[in-house]
Amino acid sequence: MRNIIACLLMLAATAAAAQQNNPQLHRLFDSYYKERMQLFPTEATAAGVHQYDDRLAIEGSAPYIAATEKFYRKYLGELKKFDNAALNTGDRISLETLAYTLQAALEAQALHLEYLPMNQFISTPLELASFGSGDGDQPFLTVKDYERWARRMTAFAEWTDTCISNFNKGIKAGVVLPKALVKLMVPQMEALAEQDTAKNIFYKPLSKFPASFTAAERERISRQYHAVIASYMRPAYARLAAYLKEQYLPAAQDKAGLFALPGGDRIYRYYVNYFTTAPDLTPEQIYQTGLTEVARIHAAMEQIKTQTGFTGDLPAFFTWLKTNPALMPFKKPEEVLEAYSAIYRKVLPYIPQLFGHQPLTPMEVRRVEAYREAASAGPFYIKGNIAEKRAAILYVPVPDATKVNVTFYGMEATFLHEGIPGHHFQIALQQENKAIPAFRRQPSFSAYFEGWALYVESLGNNWAAIRIPIRKWAR
């Protein structure tokens, strides 16, 4: 009997040990994260790691590419030393997540994506504009914070030179952006090169000095910022704008698609895998899935059309929705923002019915900044940071309030997807989860966070109070 009990105790102890985190693996995770923050300083700033707020990685430069490749291979090699079968579920997921991330990064380097160093949605120039506004991830709370940002701004000139050099390499290789996208990028860069200090976003921190700053500190920092912005930032943005308009645009491709590029099929396969995390699915299979989904959605649209009493076909219904003046009730941008805020207020009472755990990070609705408003396809989410008391933001572009269509723009579905309970719940809860390694607390897999956001759009169908009946506008 004693032997049986002893064996049971040993089995229980073994099972318990198997559920414990592997200390050596977690030390590796911590080391990876700390080293990554040094290599990706703006990512560190966005994650609330502020030791490197004065740095700007010269992405696309030969030394930087070599350093990151060495970094990826180093940690991929270290991960291979661990036996997955001996790890608990959480550690195994973390290991496989990091290994996949490192392998994807190495695969991307082989494709020379540095030849396409920026676009109209995601780029270092746009990220720096968000940082420099004083309302983003870059802190402006102390004199040291202001000095760090000044040093980071000076590095932008070198980044710009490298960016233009890589664009030129892309031109020689035939790997260029479509003209349609370049045309959106030019006014963005021109707006950020604005000479009027009242309009240029990089001067905003000078109007937001903390009360603790002395008069001497304010004067010194103001002089420093005027010099750095005039000597580094504005000229760099102006140089980018002129280059894109005069040299890159004529060389850009007329067709909108990677298929038009040399090696575009390889890049396309990489992105299919990167955004779906489904390496066993071919682009053709993904495409067929898309066709099936389009057919399903069209069938649902047909039902809605019938419910409204509209007698024409679906294309005619779309035209009616898009052009019906009754569906465009707004006159001012503030009215559009209030409409989204009203949806916010209507959604909140229903949240406890479906979610027992909600993020602590709050979320605000704001209008997109002028410099990127015209190129914004629709509302988008920017994560916050509860530790720094920064709310997440649902940014809403309103270039012309009179053209915002309450139904055609899908305001309710957009709010549920981009805001609550879509991206905000998933990303904020991920950031607040201290039970996972730090490198997993930032959003990374599009298939996961976009899949979740798409799913929660359907929850709105059960919340009749937030729906805007089309019949209301069809009278």
Q: Are residues 239 and 329 both part of a single domain?
A: no
Q: Which residue has the tokens 């905003």?
A: 204
Q: Are residues 259 and 380 both part of a single domain?
A: no
Q: Are residues 206 and 241 both part of a single domain?
A: yes
Q: Are residues 331 and 467 both part of a single domain?
A: yes
Tell me whether strands 380-382 and 392-396 are parallel, antiparallel or unpaired: antiparallel
The confidence score (pLDDT) of residue 460 equals 75
| Chain centre distance of CA 157 | 24
User: What average pLDDT does this structure show over 351-372?
Assistant: 91
CA-nearest of 454, 465, 466 to 422 is 454
The confidence score (pLDDT) of residue 203 equals 96
The confidence score (pLDDT) of residue 132 equals 95
70: helix, strand or coil: helix
The larger pLDDT score, comparing residue 309 to residue 409, is at 309
Q: Which two tokens stand for residue 388?
A: 């720094």
pLDDT of 99-128, one tens digit each? 999 999 999 999 999 999 999 988 999 999
Q: Are residues 189 and 226 both part of a single domain?
A: yes
Q: Are residues 101 and 140 both part of a single domain?
A: no
Quote the CA–CA distance of 412 and 415 in Å, as a whole number: 5
User: What average pLDDT does this structure show over 291-301?
Assistant: 94
User: What average pLDDT does this structure show over 326-340?
Assistant: 94
The answer to whether residue 419 sits within a structural domain is yes
The answer to whether residue 315 sits within a structural domain is no
Domain count, the chain: 3
pLDDT of 247-290, one tens digit each? 999 999 999 889 999 999 999 999 999 999 888 889 999 999 99
The answer to whether residue 350 sits within a structural domain is yes
Q: Are residues 83 and 20 both part of a single domain?
A: yes
Q: Which two tokens stand for residue 128?
A: 């720096």
Mean pLDDT lowest among 143-152, 328-337, 405-414, 423-432: 405-414
Q: Are residues 217 and 156 both part of a single domain?
A: yes
Q: Is the pLDDT of residue 458 over 90?
A: no
Q: Are residues 344 and 264 both part of a single domain?
A: no
Q: pTM score, two decimals?
A: 0.87
Q: Which of 270, 285, 301 is the last residue of a domain?
A: 270
The confidence score (pLDDT) of residue 279 equals 83
Across the chain, mean pLDDT equals 90
Exposed, middle or buried: residue 3 (CB in 10 Å: 0-12, 13-18, 19+)? exposed
88: helix, strand or coil: coil
309, HSE (Cβ side, Cα atoms, 13 Å):
7
Q: Which domain holds residue 455?
A: 324-473
CA-nearest of 442, 447, 356, 340 to 398 is 340
pLDDT of 225-238, one tens digit each? 999 999 999 999 99
The answer to whether residue 292 sits within a structural domain is no
Q: Are residues 347 and 215 both part of a single domain?
A: no
Mean pLDDT lowest among 106-120, 319-333, 363-377: 363-377
The confidence score (pLDDT) of residue 16 equals 39
The larger pLDDT score, comparing residue 143 to residue 373, is at 143
The answer to whether residue 307 sits within a structural domain is no
The answer to whether residue 164 sits within a structural domain is yes
Q: Is the pLDDT of residue 11 over 90?
A: no
User: What average pLDDT does this structure show over 436-463?
Assistant: 87
Q: Which of 115, 138, 156 is the last residue of a domain?
A: 115
Cβ count near 27 (within 10 Å): 10
The confidence score (pLDDT) of residue 408 equals 67
Q: Are residues 362 and 448 both part of a single domain?
A: yes
pLDDT of 407-421, one tens digit each? 866 899 999 999 999
Q: Is the pLDDT of residue 366 over 90?
A: yes
211: helix, strand or coil: coil
* Cβ–Cβ < 8 Å for 394, 418: yes
The confidence score (pLDDT) of residue 469 equals 43
Q: Are residues 238 and 144 both part of a single domain?
A: yes
Q: Is the pLDDT of residue 336 over 80?
A: yes
- Rg of the chain over Cα atoms, rounded to whole angstroms, equals 25
Q: Which of 270, 290, 307 is the last residue of a domain?
A: 270
Quote the CA–CA distance of 431 and 429 in Å, as a whole number: 5
* Percent share of the chain, pLDDT over 70: 93
The answer to whether residue 54 sits within a structural domain is no
Beta bridge partners of 382: 393
pLDDT of 49-78, one tens digit each? 999 999 999 999 999 999 999 999 999 999
The answer to whether residue 27 sits within a structural domain is yes
Quote the CA–CA distance of 193 and 453 in Å, as a whole number: 35
User: What average pLDDT does this structure show over 370-391?
Assistant: 87
CA-nearest of 348, 372, 369 to 358 is 348
